[in-house]
């Protein structure tokens, strides 16, 4: 391939080009036009579907959050009414708190466990294909089965988990999914267990971009495993880590199906999260406009956190 | 209606399509009285589409369609299949919004009826309702602002199922129709003491406690913001699970227990449940999934002695299942559709339903006879009385706030039953939330 | 590899506490225990699929089915349209995955290797839509879809899934990590952008393509809400939608649901087993080495 030419070029499009004389400026704008056309030609096939079926409905959602739409009929403009209502809505505050509670634990725990799995299973190990498949199995197992089994494991009286804790001498084992205090930790445990295989896969792909020579060099320098991880793996993995963190943050704040089948938001409102609140308001109570406003607030939270991550990532890059 | 259209091009354009789509249906004025039942139907072939769910396991829709086609050979009723459970409403709401819903669709329960009627997704069928047998149960549940928007064809009511063999084994008298809830709780405890099995099985649904409380308590209503009438019903339920006469709520939910297995495999001697369970239990005993044992039906226990005994009418609850017409239906199909509604809610539909073990809304003597002629239905007097005599109140009285309040009370239910909250605190919080979220009180 | 490296003078092996074989056995032991724990729900699914319906949920939990109902694995084919469901799901998963990988990586090239005005804003819009829960905008989307007449066809699911932002985001992040010098060199050699995408960038992105393929396949295979909203006809049902038909209004065929779930996992597990071998150290960097 074109590898012979590699060493002849340095870096990308140079910002160090001196101010070009007039005739070349025209050719430069032609180059910009050409780039725009080429860029769009790459994006367009995907954008046709994305724009029509995702972007436009999402923009519609933003519009609807300022209306009192009830799914049927016309959407009446109500200005900021829905958003003002959010401020005084106790259930919304509960859902918001629970979503953040879930995210604060789910995101770091999943990040660490999936990275750990990926590092463990990224070697020439006998049976590695089997172990990788096992790690991924929770993600492909039917969510209904997952909810049924874990609820059973968590069962306060008959569940193996509490029997085990009892054997260890724990006096008052938690009520897990049947207790308002312990239902969220139970949900977090299950979702970390379920998601770690998924993110492990993304990390595995990212680990393949770490040049083997760097490890060799580090090894020759006498670097230990931890030091190799700190100084070689992590820096090379940064684009993947960034991607996984953004994805995980968004996925975590949007958590819906697992909670729905495991606790349905209960007991009480102890595991009610924003996504379920959006669904309930929209589909059960047909307050679609209000439900859209909740969705917009969820979007704003995700965006804020993501932008923080962007900035952080840029700073580390610099 | 006045709408401000913001200058944001794309969003506005889409908003217009949205309203235009919704407008398709809202523009059509629901046709009033003159069509329908009284008008002669033509002989030209008509095809109506009817929504149903899980068709292979739910034969009632095909039974109605076939029976109707026999009487009206020129009208073919085609079934459109939807998912069961809450998914039915999710799919139906999408189809109505997208303009792809069938001509006639089922009102699965009263909880979502308000959404459809208020959203003008149901044709006024007051004329059909007016022409129905006055004995039909639940007709007036579908009234809003003086007009009817659906008619009931099926009306399940909650009864007390009991295992005669287990009662005999324990040496305890079977229910005789005179029970109040206190009698029921006492008997459940006695049964648990005598048997390996539990005295009763109350499933984890909120309606198992709240449905009865709403139907039987003096002055109880969902839209008052005062839910203290639930307290005695919760005290009894907690008493049952604390005394071990009933599996605890936590055990039921975490082990995904099913009431069919608990009662069918004789893990519990009694079961408050809807009359739909009759057909299931018979089928499961036949297939061997449920044990062979003698069972019967008794009236559901009452709040006090004033409504007990076989000379009184016991009060119970149950939402009817109804049929309504999609306003987007072709103008020339409306009379056939209305004809179908009055057939389904009338004697013809009732007979077809009773013949497959389903409780029709119209329980005339011939319909009851058809039902009890089925193989496996218990034929003792109390079962017949329990099945055919009851004052059935709606679980979800139709109102703008019902869906919101039921959500709130559902949270209170799981908080109380899991003993995360005291009854008092949970009900007080429900009142606060009703004020905050539904503007009640 | 390691044997080629001659230790530099003065290089000292770090002290080892355990000998290699013991370490290995312990390591494998830990892995096997962890695997067993992770697989527990899966094992329970298999056990439940061999029970009768009323035995699935009992107290206490019954870990050994009695009697063992092998018949479930025959009955499910006759009691339901399992083969139709599998066929539909397979068609959807393969088509969606193919289109997703193709259009996603194509667009990702535009977002990572071509510089033009508005690019980053557009990319932000892509990522931004991921932060909106689907159930919040599915009704507007459903209205558009029914206006173009796609609902209640398999095309609806294809159109829905094949153009997601996820693929673009994943591939773009990977493309960014490929040194710009490679594309630059090819440009100087006179290769077109499309040529660079196909002959340089794509071959270097095998691990990313593999993970995108696997994740897209699994997500389409297991999707429930999408098919629920868009598909009605029984002959269009996917496996997840089909399994849901075992849950009736008041009761559920738990044993058959578990049987179907076990069957539905097998194809995905096989595909994963085949696909995971692309995650091998060094595969991505072979092209970079001169």
Q: What is the SS3 assignment for C66?
A: coil
Residues A47-63 pLDDT 10s: 999 999 999 999 999 99
Average pLDDT, chain B: 86
pLDDT of residue B192: 94
User: The domain that contains C134 carries what CATH number?
Assistant: 1.10.3720.10
Task: Please indicate, yes or no, whether residues C130 and C271 belong to a single structural domain of this protein.
Answer: yes
Domain for residue C174, yes or no?
yes
Task: Please indicate, yes or no, whether residues C242 and C173 belong to a single structural domain of this protein.
Answer: yes
- Could you tell me whether strands B158-163 and B198-200 are parallel, antiparallel, or unpaired per DSSP bridges? unpaired
**Model confidence at B319, in pLDDT bands (50, 70, 90)?**
confident
DSSP summary character for residue B73 = T
Q: For the packed helices C72-79 and C254-275, what is the interaxial angle rounded to 10 degrees? A: 100
pLDDT of residue A310: 81
| Domain segments of chain B as ranges | 31-156+318-363, 158-315+396-438
Per-residue exposure over C264-279, b if at least 16 CB sit within 10 Å of its own CB, e if not: bbebbbebbeebbebb
Higher pLDDT, C54 or A187: A187
Instruction: Select from C196, C171, C194 the least CA-distant residue to C186.
Output: C196
Q: Is C21 touching A (CB cutoff 8 A)?
A: no
pLDDT of residue A167: 86
Domain for residue A16, yes or no?
no
Task: Please indicate, yes or no, whether residues C189 and C244 belong to a single structural domain of this protein.
Answer: yes
- The neighbour count for residue B11, using CB atoms within 10 Å, is 20
pLDDT of residue A208: 83
Residues B240-263 pLDDT 10s: 999 999 999 988 888 888 898 899
Instruction: Report the CATH superfamily, name and number, of domain B158-315+396-438.
Output: Periplasmic binding protein-like II (3.40.190.10)
Taking an 8 Å cut-off on Cβ atoms, the answer to whether B250 and A155 are in contact is yes
Instruction: Select from B138, B106, B113 the least CA-distant residue to B317.
Output: B138
Say if residues B127 and B38 touch (Cβ distance below 8 Å). yes
Domain for residue C207, yes or no?
yes
Chain A residues in contact with B28 by the CB 8 A cut-off are none
Residues forming beta bridges with residue C252, ordered by sequence position? C247
On the question of a cis peptide bond just before residue A125, with omega within 30 degrees of 0, the verdict is no
Task: Please indicate, yes or no, whether residues C171 and C203 belong to a single structural domain of this protein.
Answer: yes
pLDDT of residue C19: 64
Q: Is B415 touching A (CB cutoff 8 A)?
A: yes
Residue A119 burial class via C-beta count within 10 angstroms: exposed 0-12, middle 13-18, buried 19 and up: middle
Q: Which domain holds residue A225?
A: 84-317
Residues forming beta bridges with residue B154, ordered by sequence position? B321, B360
Say if residues B338 and B35 touch (Cβ distance below 8 Å). yes
pLDDT of residue B293: 94
- The neighbour count for residue A166, using CB atoms within 10 Å, is 12
Q: Which of C53, C75, C242 to mutate to test the interface with B (most CBs of B within 10 A)?
A: C53
pLDDT of residue A149: 83
Q: How far is B415 from chain A (nearest CA, A)?
A: 4
Say if residues B197 and B217 touch (Cβ distance below 8 Å). no
Q: For the packed helices B231-242 and B207-216, what is the interaxial angle rounded to 10 degrees? A: 140
User: For every one of its 290 residues, what pLDDT tens digit does chain C have, with 9 covering 90 and above?
Assistant: 333 333 333 344 444 455 677 878 888 888 888 888 888 888 888 888 898 877 777 777 777 887 888 888 988 888 788 899 999 999 999 999 999 999 999 999 999 988 888 888 999 899 889 989 998 898 899 999 999 989 899 999 999 889 989 999 999 988 888 888 888 888 898 889 899 999 989 998 888 899 899 999 999 998 888 998 999 888 999 988 888 887 766 667 788 888 888 888 888 889 888 888 887 654 444 434 32
Instruction: Select from A195, A5, A26, A237 the least CA-distant residue to A103.
Output: A195
Residues forming beta bridges with residue B152, ordered by sequence position? B322
Domain for residue A32, yes or no?
no
Higher pLDDT, B106 or C60: B106
Q: Which residues, including other chains, have CB under 8 Å from residue A183's CB and lie 6 or more apart? A: A176, A177, A263, A266, A267, A270, A271
Instruction: Select from C201, C103, C191 the least CA-distant residue to A53.
Output: C103
pLDDT, mean of residues B132-144: 88
Q: Which two tokens stand for residue C146?
A: 């029914």
Number of domains comprising chain A: 1
Q: How far is C252 from chain A (nearest CA, A)?
A: 12
Q: How far, CA to CA in Å, does C240 sit from each of A265, B85, C96, C231? A: 23, 15, 16, 12
Instruction: Give CA C180 to chain center in angstroms.
Output: 29
Q: What is the pTM of this model?
A: 0.86
Q: How far, CA to CA in Å, does B113 sit from each of A71, B110, B132, C56, C138? A: 14, 5, 20, 35, 22
pLDDT, mean of residues A279-302: 91
Q: What is the C-alpha separation between A98 and A277, in angstroms, rounded?
A: 11
Q: Which two tokens stand for residue A260?
A: 């729905």
The residue out of C44, C74, C104 marking a domain boundary is C74
- The neighbour count for residue C199, using CB atoms within 10 Å, is 14
Instruction: Select from B216, B39, B48, B245 the least CA-distant residue to B131.
Output: B39
Chain C residues in contact with A53 by the CB 8 A cut-off are 141, 144-145, 159-160, 163
Q: What is the C-alpha separation between A139 and A119, in angstroms, rounded?
A: 19
Q: What is the SS3 assignment for B272?
A: strand
CATH of the domain spanning B31-156+318-363: 3.40.190.10
Please say whether the dihedral angle defined by the alpha carbons of residues C225, A284, A147 and B264, taken in this order, is positive or negative.
negative
Taking an 8 Å cut-off on Cβ atoms, the answer to whether C232 and B277 are in contact is no
pLDDT of residue C281: 56
Taking an 8 Å cut-off on Cβ atoms, the answer to whether A209 and C164 are in contact is no
Residues A53-102 pLDDT 10s: 999 999 999 999 999 888 887 888 998 989 999 998 989 999 999 999 99
Q: For the packed helices C82-113 and C206-222, what is the interaxial angle rounded to 10 degrees? A: 140
Say if residues C222 and C238 touch (Cβ distance below 8 Å). no
Q: What is the C-alpha separation between B83 and B233, in angstroms, rounded?
A: 33
Say if residues C119 and A39 touch (Cβ distance below 8 Å). yes
**Residue in A152, A270, A285 closest to B255 by CB:** A152
Chain B residues in contact with A178 by the CB 8 A cut-off are 249-250, 253-254, 418
Residues B363-408 pLDDT 10s: 888 888 889 988 889 989 999 999 988 999 999 988 888 988 999 9
Q: Which domain holds residue C233?
A: 76-278
User: The domain that contains A257 carries what CATH number?
Assistant: 1.10.3720.10
Torsion, Cα of C221, C223, C229, C230 (10° steps) = -20
**Model confidence at A1, in pLDDT bands (50, 70, 90)?**
very low
Domain for residue A199, yes or no?
yes
pLDDT tops 50 at residue B33: no
Task: Please indicate, yes or no, whether residues C142 and C67 belong to a single structural domain of this protein.
Answer: no
Domain for residue C283, yes or no?
no
Torsion, Cα of C247, C248, C253, C259 (10° steps) = -40
Residues C88-106 pLDDT 10s: 999 999 999 999 999 999 9
pLDDT tops 70 at residue A3: no
The complex's ipTM works out to 0.82
Q: Which two tokens stand for residue C245?
A: 């038909």
Q: Is C119 touching A (CB cutoff 8 A)?
A: yes
Chain B residues in contact with C245 by the CB 8 A cut-off are 54, 56-57, 83-84
pLDDT of residue A161: 86
- The neighbour count for residue B270, using CB atoms within 10 Å, is 27
Q: Is A111 left (phi over 0), alpha (psi -120 to 50) or beta?
A: alpha
Taking an 8 Å cut-off on Cβ atoms, the answer to whether C59 and B257 are in contact is yes
Share of chain B above pLDDT 70, in %: 90
pLDDT tops 80 at residue A303: yes
Q: How far is C136 from chain A (nearest CA, A)?
A: 6
Instruction: Select from C153, C159, C160 the least CA-distant residue to C232.
Output: C153
pLDDT, mean of residues B323-345: 93
| CB-defined contacts A:C, below 8 A | 321
Domain for residue C182, yes or no?
yes
pLDDT tops 70 at residue B439: yes
- The distance in angstroms from the start CA to the end CA of chain C is 17
Instruction: Select from C193, C182, C187 the least CA-distant residue to A37.
Output: C193
**Residue in C143, C241, C252 closest to B98 by CB:** C143
Q: What is the C-alpha separation between B252 and A42, in angstroms, rounded?
A: 55
Q: How far, CA to CA in Å, does A167 sit from each of A163, A172, A176? A: 6, 12, 17
Q: Is C6 touching A (CB cutoff 8 A)?
A: no
Q: What is the C-alpha separation between C58 and B300, in angstroms, rounded?
A: 27
Q: Which two tokens stand for residue C211?
A: 């993970």
Task: Please indicate, yes or no, whether residues C124 and C264 belong to a single structural domain of this protein.
Answer: yes
DSSP summary character for residue C260 = H
Residues B171-224 pLDDT 10s: 999 999 999 999 999 999 999 999 999 999 999 999 999 999 999 998 899 988
pLDDT of residue B158: 95
Residues A122-157 pLDDT 10s: 877 778 888 888 988 899 887 877 888 888 888 887
Task: Please indicate, yes or no, whether residues C232 and C216 belong to a single structural domain of this protein.
Answer: yes
Q: What is the C-alpha separation between C216 and C211, in angstroms, rounded?
A: 8
Q: What is the C-alpha separation between C5 and A148, in angstroms, rounded?
A: 53
**Whole-angstrom Cα Rg for chain A:** 25
pLDDT tops 50 at residue A8: no
Task: Please indicate, yes or no, whether residues C93 and C57 belong to a single structural domain of this protein.
Answer: no
Q: What is the C-alpha separation between C216 and C219, in angstroms, rounded?
A: 5
**Whole-angstrom Cα Rg for chain B:** 23
pLDDT of residue C289: 34
pLDDT, mean of residues B22-38: 39
Task: Please indicate, yes or no, whether residues C196 and C245 belong to a single structural domain of this protein.
Answer: yes
Number of domains comprising chain C: 2
Instruction: Select from B82, B141, B134, B123 the least CA-distant residue to B325.
Output: B123
pLDDT tops 60 at residue A19: no
Say if residues B394 and B319 touch (Cβ distance below 8 Å). yes
Task: Please indicate, yes or no, whether residues C164 and C217 belong to a single structural domain of this protein.
Answer: yes
pLDDT of residue A44: 92
């Amino acid at each position: 391939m074109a590898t012979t030419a590699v060493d002849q070029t340095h870096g990308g499009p140079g910002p160090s080009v001196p101010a070009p004389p007039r005739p070349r400026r025209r050719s430069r704008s032609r180059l910009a036009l050409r780039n725009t056309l080429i860029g769009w030609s790459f994006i367009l096939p995907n954008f046709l579907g994305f724009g029509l079926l995702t972007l436009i409905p999402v923009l519609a959602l933003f519009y609807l959050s300022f209306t009192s739409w009830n799914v049927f009929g016309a959407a009446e403009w109500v200005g900021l009414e829905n958003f003002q209502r959010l401020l005084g809505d106790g259930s919304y505050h509960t859902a918001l708190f629970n979503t953040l509670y879930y995210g604060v634990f789910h995101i770091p725990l999943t990040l660490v466990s999936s990275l750990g799995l990926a590092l463990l299973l990224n070697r020439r190990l006998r049976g590695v294909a089997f172990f990788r498949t096992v790690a991924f199995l929770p993600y492909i197992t039917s969510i209904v089965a997952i909810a049924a089994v874990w609820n059973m494991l968590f069962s306060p009286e008959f569940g193996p988990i509490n029997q085990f804790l009892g054997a260890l001498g724990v006096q008052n084992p938690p009520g897990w999914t049947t207790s308002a205090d312990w239902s969220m930790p139970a949900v977090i445990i299950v979702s970390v267990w379920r998601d770690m295989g998924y993110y492990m896969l993304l990390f595995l792909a990212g680990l393949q971009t770490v040049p083997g020579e760097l490890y060799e060099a580090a090894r020759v320098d006498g670097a230990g495993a931890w030091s190799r991880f700190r100084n070689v793996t992590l820096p090379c993995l940064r684009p993947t880590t960034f991607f996984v963190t953004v994805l995980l943050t968004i996925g975590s704040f949007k958590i819906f199906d697992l909670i729905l089948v495991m606790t349905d938001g209960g007991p009480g409102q102890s595991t009610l999260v924003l996504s379920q609140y959006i669904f309930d308001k929209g589909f059960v109570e047909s307050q679609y406009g209000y439900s859209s406003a909740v969705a917009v607030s969820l979007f704003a939270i995700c965006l804020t956190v993501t932008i923080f991550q962007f900035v952080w990532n840029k700073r580390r890059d610099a | 209606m006045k709408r401000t259209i913001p200058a944001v091009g794309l969003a506005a354009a889409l908003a217009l399509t949205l309203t235009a789509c919704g407008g398709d249906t809202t523009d059509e004025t629901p046709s009033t009285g003159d069509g329908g039942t009284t008008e002669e139907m033509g002989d030209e072939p008509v095809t109506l589409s009817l929504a149903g769910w899980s068709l292979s396991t739910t034969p009632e829709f095909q039974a109605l369609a076939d029976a109707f086609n026999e009487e009206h050979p020129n009208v073919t009723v085609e079934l459109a299949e939807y998912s069961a459970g809450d998914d039915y409403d999710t799919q139906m709401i999408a189809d109505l919004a997208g303009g792809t819903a069938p001509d006639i669709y089922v009102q699965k329960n009263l909880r979502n009826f308000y959404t459809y009627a208020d959203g003008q997704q149901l044709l006024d069928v007051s004329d059909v309702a007016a022409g129905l047998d006055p004995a039909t149960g639940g007709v007036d549940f579908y009234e809003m602002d003086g007009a009817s928007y659906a008619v009931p064809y099926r009306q399940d009511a909650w009864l007390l199922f009991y295992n005669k063999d287990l009662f005999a084994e324990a040496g305890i008298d079977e229910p005789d129709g005179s029970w109040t809830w206190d009698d029921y709780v006492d008997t459940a405890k006695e049964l648990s003491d005598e048997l390996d099995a539990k005295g009763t099985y109350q499933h984890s649904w909120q309606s198992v406690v709240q449905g009865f409380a709403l139907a039987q308590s003096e002055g109880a209503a969902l839209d008052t913001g005062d839910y203290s009438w639930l307290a005695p019903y919760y005290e009894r339920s907690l008493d049952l699970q604390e005394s071990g006469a009933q599996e605890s709520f936590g055990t039921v939910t975490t082990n995904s227990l099913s009431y069919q297995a608990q009662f069918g495999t004789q893990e519990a001697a009694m079961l408050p449940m809807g009359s739909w369970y009759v057909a299931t239990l018979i089928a499961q005993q036949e297939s061997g999934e449920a044990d062979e044992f003698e069972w019967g039906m008794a009236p559901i226990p009452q709040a006090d002695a004033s409504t007990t005994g076989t000379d009184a009418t016991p009060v119970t609850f149950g939402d009817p299942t109804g049929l309504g017409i999609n306003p987007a239906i072709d103008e020339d199909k409306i009379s056939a559709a209305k004809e179908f509604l009055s057939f389904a809610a009338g004697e013809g539909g009732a007979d077809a339903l009773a013949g497959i073990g389903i409780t029709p809304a119209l329980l005339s003597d011939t319909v009851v006879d058809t039902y009890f002629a089925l193989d496996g239905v218990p034929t003792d007097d109390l079962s017949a009385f329990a099945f055919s005599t009851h004052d059935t109140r709606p679980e979800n009285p139709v109102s703008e706030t019902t869906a919101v309040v039921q959500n709130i009370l559902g949270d209170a239910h799981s908080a109380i039953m899991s003993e995360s909250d005291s009854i008092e605190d949970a009900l007080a919080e429900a009142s606060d939330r009703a004020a905050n979220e539904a503007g009640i009180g | 590899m390691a044997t080629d490296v001659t230790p530099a003078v003065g290089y000292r092996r770090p002290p080892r506490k355990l000998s290699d074989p013991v370490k290995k056995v312990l390591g494998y032991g830990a892995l096997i225990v962890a695997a067993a724990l992770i697989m527990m729900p899966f094992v329970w699914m298999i056990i439940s699929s061999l029970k009768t319906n009323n035995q699935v949920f009992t107290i206490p939990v019954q870990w050994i089915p009695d009697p063992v109902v092998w018949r479930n694995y025959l009955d499910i084919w006759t009691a339901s349209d399992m083969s139709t469901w599998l066929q539909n799901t397979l068609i959807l998963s393969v088509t969606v995955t193919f289109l997703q990988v193709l259009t996603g990586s194509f667009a990702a090239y535009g977002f990572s290797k071509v510089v033009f005005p508005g690019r980053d804003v557009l990319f932000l819009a892509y990522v931004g839509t991921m932060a909106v829960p689907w159930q919040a905008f599915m009704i507007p989307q459903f209205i558009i879809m029914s206006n173009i007449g796609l609902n209640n066809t398999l095309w609806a699911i294809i159109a829905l899934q094949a153009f997601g932002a996820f693929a673009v985001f994943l591939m773009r992040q990977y493309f960014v990590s490929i040194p710009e010098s490679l594309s630059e060199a090819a440009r100087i050699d006179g290769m077109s952008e499309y040529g660079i995408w196909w002959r340089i960038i794509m071959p270097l992105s095998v691990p990313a393509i593999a993970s995108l393929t696997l994740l897209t396949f699994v997500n389409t295979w297991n999707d429930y809400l999408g098919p629920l909203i868009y598909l009605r006809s029984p002959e269009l049902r996917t496996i997840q939608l089909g399994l849901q038909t075992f849950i009736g209004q008041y009761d559920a065929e738990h044993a058959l649901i578990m049987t179907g779930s076990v069957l539905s996992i097998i194809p995905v597990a096989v595909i994963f087993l085949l696909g995971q071998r692309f995650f091998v150290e060094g595969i991505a960097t072979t092209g970079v080495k001169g």
